[in-house]
A and B are shown apart, each in its own frame.
Chain A
Amino acid sequence: MGTRTIIPFGPQHPVLPEPIHLDLVLEDEKVVEALPSVGFVHRGLERLAEVKDFHELVYVAERICGICSFIHGQGYCQGVETLLNVEVPPRAKYLRTIWGELSRIHSHLLWLGLFADAFGFESLFMHCWRVREKVVDIIEATAGGRVIFGSCKVGGARRDIPNDMLKGIKTELAAIEKQYNELKPTFLHDNSVKRRTVGIGTLSKETAYALGAVGPTLRGSGVASDLRTLGYAAYKDLEWEPVVEQGGDCYARTAVRVREVTMSFDIIRQAIDKIPDGPVDVKVTGNPTGEFFSRLEQPRGEVVYYVKGNNTKFLERFRIRTPTFANIAPLVVMLKGCELPDVPVIVLTIDPCISCTER
């Protein structure tokens, strides 16, 4: 046994825009144990349900995180709509699908850029973010905000996207996808990228499932689990299937996200082709009663919103289980046995969102 030392990783680190801390127990350069610490900026947003009425709380839900903001709002609304037995108009479901997939594309492109930056591929980072910027432009044109959409409400959507604008978006997305396709081979086939990702931070299919991994972390280990299969929003009307890789390593988790961006382009195209005309919201009356676990697929994986109503305008309990929280235990296992220089790369491959985790 070599000399054991403990290296603190984070909470401030060049690859971490948000604070998470790991105590890394090393034998020489090999990690033998990793102990995570979170909670440096826990906000306690869930308790705001006691003072914000259930219509207002969607604004809080959207602000849990700046990357998956729309899907946070959507998940909350779907939970409350179930308690109220509200049927959302079909057009609103399609709009939610389109905005949700735009979120997924910009989130994955953001992550791909950060990941390239983590292993020192600066130009690849810049190209990813250049392409992402055009997706964010579409979000701004349709929702009015680049980060916070403010477009989801209990009962449907707060605004519509005109049909002629949807056609323009389809054309614009074709141009963006063409640029994106030029980046894909670098992530999937470049030798310098593969040397930092193949065989690094491997998580077996059985371990990933047993540890409750979600999203690309789970699918990268060969488990075809994607909550969009439940058929919420317009997904039940569209043709798609979960993106799965078998390697279980950093490369596999990256490949899942690379391929999911392409699938999201396709889902948006289908949604634009099939979106029905009609209203985008319904009038909501009454107060929520009962309890429900609303589950959706965020870019980082399964997110769970527990809403419990007591027939008042304030929820009795609002609880969010974010994907990063679920991926902490798998991360600890991935890090065991890796080399110290690989730690930042492995940590990034769960796409940690501490803003979500510190809800």
Chain B
Amino acid sequence: MNMIEPQPMTAIDRVRLPAQAKDLAARGYRLVQICATDGGETLEVTYSFDCDYSLTNLRVTLLKGDTVLPSITGAYLAAFTYENELQDLFGITVTDLAINYNGNFYKMAIKTPFLRNNPSGAV
């Protein structure tokens, strides 16, 4: 059979995100990745953590027009690269970011190219 690891996904409110991240860090989880998906009316932001080859995910859903997220760099400093990427590619504003490039992490000709309703970012 194919090797399929369980990958639990927990939907949480953004205000609980920093505390949840601190809890996972205290339990020995490392940050694996953060990514966003444009769902049309919403943006899904998924945080993945690993401990002993076991992946667990937190998901925050943001309404377009209210795309502000608290940073988890207080728990995982390494999150600064992912969170700057969220700002540059999806236009999400991340507050309390430990190292903030203010939209200059990637040098791009167009702003927020991964938003689907961005006409200049069409593929």
B partners with A: yes
- Residues of chain B contacted by A37 (CB below 8 angstroms): 101, 104-105
Contact at B106–A42, with CB atoms within 8 Å?
Answer: yes
- Residues of chain A contacted by B76 (CB below 8 angstroms): 210, 212
Contact at B33–A321, with CB atoms within 8 Å?
Answer: yes
With A87-B2, A308-B37, A329-B80: A39-B108 Cβ-Cβ less than 8 Å: yes
How many chain B residues touch A (CB < 8 A): the figure is 37
Contact at B81–A329, with CB atoms within 8 Å?
Answer: yes
Residue in A210, A295, A304, A306 whose beta carbon sits within 8 Å of that of B30 in the complex: A210
- Residues of chain B contacted by A86 (CB below 8 angstroms): 2
Q: Does B15 lie at the interface of the complex (its beta carbon under 8 Å from any beta carbon of A)?
A: no
How many chain A residues touch B (CB < 8 A): the figure is 45
Contact at B78–A230, with CB atoms within 8 Å?
Answer: no
Contact at B33–A304, with CB atoms within 8 Å?
Answer: yes
Contact at B78–A212, with CB atoms within 8 Å?
Answer: yes
Q: Does B17 lie at the interface of the complex (its beta carbon under 8 Å from any beta carbon of A)?
A: no
Contact at B7–A39, with CB atoms within 8 Å?
Answer: no
- Residues of chain A contacted by B121 (CB below 8 angstroms): 47
With a 10 A CB-CB cut-off, give which of A81, A231, A295 has the most chain B CB atoms.
A295
The interface residues of chain A, by DSSP majority, are classed as mixed
Q: Does A88 lie at the interface of the complex (its beta carbon under 8 Å from any beta carbon of B)?
A: yes
Contact at A38–B105, with CB atoms within 8 Å?
Answer: yes
Residue in A50, A81, A230, A328 whose beta carbon sits within 8 Å of that of B5 in the complex: A230
Cα(A224)–Cα(B95), bound, Å? 34
Residue in B30, B55, B106 whose beta carbon sits within 8 Å of that of A293 in the complex: B55
Q: Does A240 lie at the interface of the complex (its beta carbon under 8 Å from any beta carbon of B)?
A: no
- Residues of chain A contacted by B55 (CB below 8 angstroms): 293, 295
Cα(A304)–Cα(B105), bound, Å? 21
Contact at B3–A236, with CB atoms within 8 Å?
Answer: yes
Q: Does A129 lie at the interface of the complex (its beta carbon under 8 Å from any beta carbon of B)?
A: no
Q: Smallest CB–CB gap between B30 and chain A, Å?
A: 5
- Residues of chain A contacted by B113 (CB below 8 angstroms): 44, 47
Q: Smallest CB–CB gap between B120 and chain A, Å?
A: 12
In the A-B complex, the 5 residue pairs with the closest CB atoms: A39-B106, A329-B78, A321-B33, A212-B78, A317-B37
Beyond A35-B99, A212-B76, A325-B81, 18 additional contacts (C-beta under 8 Å) are: A39-B106, A44-B114, A44-B123, A50-B116, A88-B2, A229-B53, A230-B5, A230-B53, A231-B3, A292-B4, A293-B33, A293-B48, A293-B55, A295-B55, A304-B48, A308-B37, A326-B33, A329-B80
Measured CB to CB, the residues of A under 8 A from B are 35, 37-40, 42, 44, 46-48, 50-51, 78, 81-82, 85-88, 209-212, 227, 229-232, 236, 292-293, 295, 302, 304, 306, 308, 316-317, 319, 321, 325-326, 328-330
10 pairs, CB–CB < 8 Å, chain A vs chain B:
A86-B2, A212-B30, A212-B31, A230-B3, A230-B53, A293-B48, A295-B5, A295-B55, A319-B33, A319-B37
